[in-house]
Chain A
Amino acid sequence: MIDIVLLTLLMVVAFAIIKMKDLFSVIMLLGIYGLLSASFFVAMDAVDVAFTEAAVGAGISTLLILLVITMTGRSENTTRHKPLLALLVVVFTGALLIYGTLDMPYFGSADAPINNHVAPRYINGSMEEIGIPNIVTSVLASYRAFDTFGEVVVIFTAGIGVLALLSVVPRPEDSKKITPVNDSMHEQYLVIRVVTKILLPFILLFALYVQFHGDFGPGGGFQAGVIFSAAIILYTMLFGLNTARKVMNQSVVQLIAAMGVLLYACVGVVSLLNGGNFFDYNVLSNDPVAGQHLGVLLIEWGVGCTVASVMIIIFFSFAGRREMQQHNKYVDNKDQESSL
């Protein structure tokens, strides 16, 4: 029942997103879409995924797109041509996909391939071999460690890409000009600044809890990293980029992003050197289960570091771009006034 309600709401929101012309409302709807998908994942018992979706889909990605439209303007360009061919392609592909679902087994049916192939092996063997109550973590961090390593490298690459495209070197004379503006806004933001300062330690503590409790409950490096960076982003939004850059030195953050991937890879190399396979944690310690615990803990720590720092880097680069644009506008206005 709740599945049907959530899926209907998802459909409605998706159609509204297509129809809307005001990009600001579209972004808000995208956030709602993310939150709805997160609730849907919870209803499907995929709490780990829901965690990530709620933090990334409803939180950080919404913010990043918002930052972008403050730079580009908030109304969509009207297109005059009618893309019939594109519509045809989409309808055709959609029809093929729906035709494909007819052959799929029913959701949760016992003889579906997913329930017969490797899943029983993981479910039966996980507790003995890995010794972690949360099977999702043991699959992600131990059985499929190589896949997860690929994901972390993808995130790291995304961070490098954003840095290469958008990085702005802040000039010291600019930051001096911007700081007084920030202080004058203090009165205006007083309430939300105070509340944020109260909440921040708890958000950071929660992120660390999710990080280190990932072996026992839903959570892990990805979720923890995103929550941690969300706290920093909140701080940046309220206290300005320059203050945040003083708290989190950007070059240190970049270093941490690289160290996370390195830590992950090193665990694999160490297990190679100890005579096992790549990412075979059994050989990390005398007792195989203890070795697995150590390996999972270390690679989750690496994942958390990389995800958190890459998110912070992306936000800093976007916000830095915006600040530069506004500064240029301010300077241009000054020039015009003086020429008049």
Chain B
Amino acid sequence: MDIIINISGALCLIIGSFLCISGGIGILRFPDFYTRMHAVGVTDTLGAGMVLIGLMFYSPDFLIFSKLVMILLLTLLIGPTTSHVLAKAAMHNGLMPELAQNDNNKNMD
């Protein structure tokens, strides 16, 4: 039982850190605002979520476990909302995705 908990906890932590790192690389490498938004969204929802779940496996008592559950719920609620609001604000201010801009340019040509 112990070994199963240990392994699954470690697996979650590794997946979470991988997602965080890939999200970080994504912010630097992606071409335009919206794809970068996607990278950020992955980092702070799925990456942080997996790390929190991994930590839940290792939590020594129920109190810490329940605190982690609360933090997870909070991130699941706030992360997607902030991404949504940011994207909406960008859209509202007339920032077009790079691909759409390219299409427009082609049409003009």
Residues of A within 8 A of B (CB): 188, 191-192, 195, 198-199
Instruction: For the complex formed, measure the closest distance between the CB of B63 and the CB atoms of chain A, giving whole angstroms.
Output: 13
- In the bound complex, CA of A188 to CA of B77 (Å): 19
What DSSP secondary structure best describes chain B's contact surface? helix
Query: Across the two chains, which residue of chain B brings its CB closest to A196?
Result: B81
Q: Tell whether, in the assembled complex, residue A195 and residue B81 are in contact, meaning their CB atoms are under 8 Å apart.
A: yes
Alpha-carbon gap, A192 to B79, bound state (A): 11
Extra inter-chain contacts (9) besides given A191-B88, A192-B84, CB under 8 Å: A188-B88, A191-B81, A191-B85, A192-B81, A192-B85, A195-B77, A195-B78, A195-B81, A199-B77
How many angstroms between the C-alpha atoms of A191 and B85 in the bound complex?
8
Q: B residues near A, CB below 8 A?
A: 77-78, 81, 84-85, 88, 92
**Known: A191-B84, A191-B85, A192-B84. Is A198-B77 also a contact (CB below 8 A)?**
yes
Residues in chain A near residue B85, CB distance under 8 A: 191-192
Minimum CB distance partner of A195 in chain B: B81
11 chain-A/chain-B pairs, Cβ below 8 angstroms: A188-B88, A188-B92, A191-B81, A191-B85, A192-B84, A195-B77, A195-B78, A195-B81, A198-B77, A199-B77, A199-B78
**Cβ-closest chain A residue relative to B81:** A195
- How many Cβ-Cβ contacts under 8 Å join chain A to chain B? 15
- A192 contact set on B, CB distance < 8 A: 81, 84-85
Shortest Cβ distance from B70 into A: residue: A202
B92 CB contacts on chain A under 8 angstroms: 188
Distance, CA A192 to CA B77, complexed state (A)? 10
CB distance from B65 to the nearest CB of A (A): 18
Q: Which residues of A contact B78 (CB under 8 A)?
A: 195, 199
* Alpha-carbon distance between A195 and B78 when the two chains are bound, in angstroms: 8
Residues of A within 8 A of B77 (CB): 195, 198-199
- Complex contacts, A191 vs chain B, CB 8 Å: 81, 84-85, 88
Query: How many angstroms between the C-alpha atoms of A96 and B85 in the bound complex?
Result: 48
Give every chain B residue within 8 A of A199 (Cβ-Cβ): 77-78
Could you tell me the distance in whole angstroms from the C-beta of B91 to the nearest C-beta in chain A?
Answer: 10
Chain A nearest Cβ from B52, distance in angstroms: 17
Q: Taking each of A188, A195, A198, A199, which has the highest tally of chain B beta carbons within 10 Å of its own beta carbon?
A: A195
The smallest beta-carbon distance between A122 and chain B, in angstroms, is 29
Once bound together, how far apart are the Cα atoms of A199 and B85, in whole Å? Answer: 16
User: What's the least CB distance linking B78 to chain A, in Å?
Assistant: 8
CB-CB nearest in chain B for A191: B84
Measured in the bound complex, the distance between the Cα atoms of B78 and A198 in whole Å is 11
Q: What separation, in Å, do the CA atoms of A192 and B89 have in the docked complex?
A: 12
Considering only CB atoms, which chain B residue lies closest to A192 in the complex? B85
> B residues within 8 A CB of A195?
77-78, 81
Give the shortest distance, in Å, between A224 (CB) and chain B (any CB): 18
A32 to chain B, nearest CB (A): 14
